[in-house]
Structure 1
Amino acid sequence: MSSKLEQLQAIVAPVIEALGYECWGIEFLSQGKHSLLRIYIDHADGIFIEDCEKVSRQVSGVLDVEDPISNEYTLEVSSPGMDRPLFTLEQFAAHAGEQVKIKLRVPFEGRRNFQGVLRGVEEQDVVVLVDDHEFLLPIDSIDKANIVPRFD
């Protein structure tokens, strides 16, 4: 996790948890004047638009005071949804057996994109089975990972 994401996590996670939600993960896309701070929240009862609004108001106020992002940005608060992004080793472990799509920052064995069955974690690696071949992908090299929703 980058130092900017760690800083943002340290600021917003306690606020979200104090409201009774889980801070599922944070994405910060720095693009000059069009930067985006996306915060995913979760709750055992699900997430509704009112939940996102409540968290957005509280987090926005704290971010205005702390001011960790120097330029303009858009704040988005969302549920992880069916194509749930995965951020931590614990999240990867909890979703073992699911189909996942993983994009790496740099190529691993000549490729950056992997789609297969999430087998779990081993130390700091995410284990994915793709076409009968098991890959151990270092968590630090993962740029983006999502559950592939099933519609049975």
Structure 2
Amino acid sequence: MSQDIDYGNLMHTAMRGLIKTVLTDVSKTGLPGAHHFFITFDTRYEGVELADWLRERYPGEMTIVMQHWFENLEVGEEGFSITLNFGDAPEPLYIPYMAIKTFVDPSVEFGLRFESPEDEDDEVFVADEAPIELEAEEPEPQHHDADVVSLDSFRK
């Protein structure tokens, strides 16, 4: 056997499994305490389902917020569906886990970022204590040391 272990893909699969587990728990018991999620996904990814007007408004990527109001959260093997409120208009979405680019829970300063080979920078997986910056007007988070693993080091 001369094949290498693909740690990069294994790590991404495990982290997407973590998101699935978290969403499954939320679908059963709701969001605990101050927890809330910012989920950024690629709207062009195959299998993403959203209203045409949302796809036109967000032709590349979109960030959704799961916090005060959402319903019909159903977690499946390949992705999840949810209904969110966009300007008093409830809209159903389906998001495959593979379409997710970032998953952030700012209430506990937890964030995951997935980058595809098409992204300009080297592919990097980040699991750190500081949230990923979401908006320019938010205060800068305090710097915490983070473990950054370059996935290129696991490739052939």
TM-score category by the smaller chain?
0.3 to 0.5
Structure in which a larger fraction of residues adopt strand: 1
Structure in which a larger fraction of residues adopt helix: 1
